[in-house]
Structure 1
Amino acid sequence: MSFNNLDTLYRQVIMDHYKNPRNKGVLEDDSLTVNMNNPTCGDRIQLTLKLEDGKVADAKFEGEGCSISMSSASMMTQAIKGKTKEEAVKLSHIFSDMMLGKDYDDDIDLGDIEALQGVSQFPARIKCATLAWKAMEKGMNEEDTAK
């Protein structure tokens, strides 16, 4: 597949997650809530996580922002469901490496998340893409310290 076709496909995946976000909403009852924002561009997110037996049983988000931040949140909530806290944080580190243009563990199937790989070429947009992931990591760290 040529670069232009791949770029077009990735844009379509990002816009699909932006226009039809997965896991949009707020979890109630025993959920962990993390609010974060990116003051440089105005993106904001409220992430709610339900953890059961050390795994992410459910994840939802609310917020507003650019297509990159909101589609990344949609992709992230899909990717972490069913994962252990450790697996979710590892996935976040892999995503961060991908955003920074570093080598990352490509043995792991990132699915739709790979569509965000091109963001690494636009340093000002990396914070947009990583906002939801940073919120998830913060929530996992807060959950650990609450015990």
Structure 2
Amino acid sequence: MAGQANFLSDRFSDLGGQVVMSTEAALKQLVDNWLRQHPVIHWLFHHPIAALILVAVVTLLLAGLFGAIARSSEQFWILLAKLPFVLLGWLVRVIARVLGTQIPAWQRNRARQQSDRQTQLRELLAQLEESRRHQEELLNQVKQLLQEEKLV
């Protein structure tokens, strides 16, 4: 009985080995056929350094692409958030034009004040320039007098 158990055990282990070998052969044939149909993959499989470099380049390109998509998406959402305010401003301007209303008095006064300030600044700058010229003339006269004294 022990001999019969050993025989069955050997037989099953041989059968298991045959199953594994036939499965391995089938998978190997499947992979070989696939690699023959895809020569680029076959080449990359046999050149691992080139494959790593290619993977790194593709990764960088994809990272750049995803970054560009993210920035575009961000700009889109910002535009979408600003849109109601832009449309409201446009609507107010159109309504103001249609109704014929003018610029409010406080805005006119503010613009006039800014204009007056700019005029004052121009006048002050002109006076400073005139003072500078006068100072240069006086300095030139002093230099001439000093030179005449040295000559005499």
TM range (shorter): under 0.3
Higher relative contact order (CA 8 A, sep 6+): 1
Structure with higher Rg: it is 2
* Higher share of residues assigned helix: 2
Report which of the two has the higher share of strand: 1
Normalising by structure 2, report the TM-score.
0.19
**TM-score, normalising length from structure 1?**
0.20
